[in-house]
Copies of this chain bind each other. A is one copy, B any other.
Amino acid sequence: MDIVTPFQFSLVYNALSFTFATMGAATLFLWLSRSQVAPAYRTALTISGLVTAIAAYHYFRIFDSWTAAYQLKDGLITATGFAFNDAYRYVDWLLTVPLLLIELVLVMRLSAEETMSKSIRLGAAAALMIVLGYPGEIATDIPTRALWGTLSSIPFVYIVYELFSGLGRSIAQQPANAQGLVRKARLLTFASWGFYPIVYMAPYAGLKGGTVVTTIQIGYTIADIVAKAGLGILIFLIAVRKSAAEDPENTAITV
């Protein structure tokens, strides 16, 4: 167990608590906002809120695991002997990452067949990406980490290809007032997902001990906030604009 400094302990502690609050707030916002959009977009908001709710649960668990692993007393940090559970993030991602792609597909409102086929293909690729990344995350040597990281990046490249080719064509058919936001949502997904492998590679950079633990925890936390709560807010804005474009008479639809 790598020992962190009191500053690093508090930084991760506060970041985990902040993220629990953010994910919980995003969930409530997304679910309460269901009535503000046309029925066709409510499932997209339901699922966006599910993603942040699942993340809130896991951040609560990660917070508890962090405080169980270390003790800050009289300004000193000691390891309690209980291991910090890395796996929470991966079981979270296994559930939420496929759902993130599905919420993006749903808010685009493609045909029923397209929605189904894209959800299954993208969702399966996302799950495979997470499963292949985990053995590397818990590996103690860099070559093993690099091997699984590289395997995991194959489904990631496929997802990026799908987002920019297949979904790209569908973006052109979105209403004019929502096209820019849909492009932003795609870009946010691509950029925030691209941030995870950078964090994953932190140990390659020669970081050691408490510093590498802190960098990985803070890095994944920032990426999760952007990829989940940030995307959720964009999905909400897209749903509101598309609802308004499709039914300009309906005054119930408004931010």
Contact = CB atoms under 8 A, between A and B. Distances in A.
Interface in A72-92: 72-75, 81-83, 85, 87-88, 91-92
Interface stretch (A25-33, A148-156, A159-167, A198-206): A25-33
Interface of A: 10, 13-14, 17-18, 20-22, 24-25, 28-29, 31-36, 38-40, 42-43, 46-47, 49-50, 53-54, 57-58, 61, 72-75, 81-83, 85, 87-88, 91-92, 94-95, 106, 112, 115, 251-255
B106 A18 contact: no
Contact of A39 (B39, B92, B94, B254): B254
Contact of A25 (B29, B53, B252): B53
B73 A43 contact: no
Majority secondary structure, A binding face: helix
Contact of A82 (B35, B61, B72, B251): B72
Contacts of A46: 28-29, 32-33
Given A25-B95, A50-B25, A73-B82, A88 B17 contact: yes
B39 A91 contact: no
Given A18-B94, A50-B28, A10 B87 contact: yes
Given A33-B43, A36-B42, A82-B73, A21 B255 contact: no
